[in-house]
């Protein structure tokens, strides 16, 4: 049984690697599941045993990328919550960079704010992990009380908005995304602080 599990993982990996290669060279839209299966050296039917859709493959790629440990996140000191959140979000962008151009289906499904209704475990973990870190950063800055579920939902929506902008950012080196992220986070934190002052 152990061998079968390994073989399964190996096939899964082959599909993901083949898909990533094709997405980068051919583009997400132009790549078919048949192409992916062929590149992975398996039958198309076999592919569907692993991933029901092409979108599911991208989502898995994205989630896997987030599962890799990121450097320096744990103990870094930040002067403000906006700076801390920026570092966190920017680290996410770096991980997502290889998938930038075909991120839209992931945003529409797994990462969508409506994801709870879908009960998508894969997307859920991605969101939960990201937001848990946000809460921790807010706690370090003494702002966790302001971080209500609504505030977290708002943060996530902003973050997805930035990601969505990023997938289609045509500015040099996607510098506009950095400016948008900076401004969005500044707005969010100032809104959060406003709420904090009122509740005090």
Partner 1 sequence: MSLTAAELMQALPDVDDGDAALQTLPAVLKESSLRPVPVGRWRRMTLLSSLQAKIAAAYLFHWVRGWFKSADENSRLLAETHWRTAARVLDSMGYLRGAVMKMGQTLANFPDIAPREFVETLEKLHFDAPPMHWSLLREMVFNELGDDPENIFAEFDKQAFAAASLGQVHRARLKTGEEVAVKIQYPGIARTIGEDFRNLFLFMLPNRLGREWQNVREQFDDLRLRLEQETDYLLEAANLQQARSLFRDEDGIIVPRVYPQYSTARVLTMELVGGVHLDQFLARQPSQDERNEAATKMVRGWYRLMYAGRMLYNDFHPGNFLFLDDGRLGLIDFGYILPLDDELWELFRIMDRSLTTGLREDRITAMKAWSGLTDDTSDQMRLYEAFAEWTWCSRDADGPYDFGVEADFRRGVDLFTEMLRKRYSRGHRTTPTIARGNFGWRSLLYRLKAKLEIRPLAESEILATGWDRSDYARPISK
Interatomic CA distance for residues 64 and 20, integer angstroms? 12
Interatomic CA distance for residues 92 and 102, integer angstroms? 15
At its nearest, how many Å lie between partner 1 and the CB of residue 86? 4
Q: Site residues for partner 1, window 65-94 (CB under 8 A)? A: 78-80, 82-84, 86-87, 90, 94
Q: DSSP string of 56-79?
A: HHHHHHHHHHHHSPPTTTTT---S
Window of 40-48, 118-126, 158-166, 179-187 that interacts with partner 1 by CB under 8 A: 179-187
Q: Are 51 and 19 in contact (CB under 8 A)?
A: no
Q: Is the dihedral of CA 152, 166, 62, 57 positive or negative?
A: positive
Name the residue nearer to partner 1 (CB basis): 32 or 171.
Answer: 171
Window of 10-18, 42-50, 154-162, 180-188 that interacts with partner 1 by CB under 8 A: 180-188
At its nearest, how many Å lie between partner 1 and the CB of residue 64? 22
Q: Which member of 57, 163, 178, 192 binds partner 1 (CB under 8 A)?
A: 178
Q: Are 154 and 188 in contact (CB under 8 A)?
A: yes
Interatomic CA distance for residues 99 and 167, integer angstroms? 9
Q: Are 160 and 131 in contact (CB under 8 A)?
A: no
Q: Please tell me whether residue 130 binds partner 1 under the rule CB under 8 A.
A: no
How far out from the chain centre does Cα 169 lie? 17
At its nearest, how many Å lie between partner 1 and the CB of residue 126? 21
Window of 21-29, 38-46, 105-113, 174-182 that interacts with partner 1 by CB under 8 A: 174-182
Q: Please tell me whether residue 183 binds partner 1 under the rule CB under 8 A.
A: yes
Name the residue nearer to partner 1 (CB basis): 17 or 176.
Answer: 176
Interatomic CA distance for residues 170 and 173, integer angstroms? 8
Q: Which member of 26, 44, 118, 171 binds partner 1 (CB under 8 A)?
A: 171
Chain residues binding partner 1 by CB under 8 A are 78-80, 82-84, 86-87, 90, 94, 171-176, 178-179, 182-183, 186-187, 190
């Amino acid at each position: 049984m152990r061998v079968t599990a390994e073989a399964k993982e190996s096939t899964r990996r082959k599909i993901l690697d083949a898909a990533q290669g094709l997405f980068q060279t051919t583009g997400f839209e132009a790549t078919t599941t048949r192409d992916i299966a062929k590149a992975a050296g398996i039958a198309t039917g076999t592919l569907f045993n692993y991933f029901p859709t092409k979108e599911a493959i991208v989502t898995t790629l994205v989630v896997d990328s987030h599962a890799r440990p990121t450097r320096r996140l744990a103990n870094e000191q930040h002067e403000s919550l906006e700076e801390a959140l920026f570092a966190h979000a920017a680290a996410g962008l770096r991980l997502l960079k290889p998938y930038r151009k075909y991120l839209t289906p992931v945003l529409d499904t797994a990462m969508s704010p409506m994801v709870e209704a879908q009960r998508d475990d894969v997307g859920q973990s991605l969101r939960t992990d990201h937001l848990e870190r946000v809460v921790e950063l807010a706690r370090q800055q003494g702002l966790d009380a302001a971080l209500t579920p609504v505030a977290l939902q708002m943060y996530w929506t902003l973050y997805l908005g930035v990601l969505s902008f990023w997938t289609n950012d045509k500015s040099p080196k996607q510098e506009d995304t950095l400016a948008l992220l900076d401004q969005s986070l500044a707005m969010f934190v100032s809104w959060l602080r406003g709420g904090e002052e009122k509740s005090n």
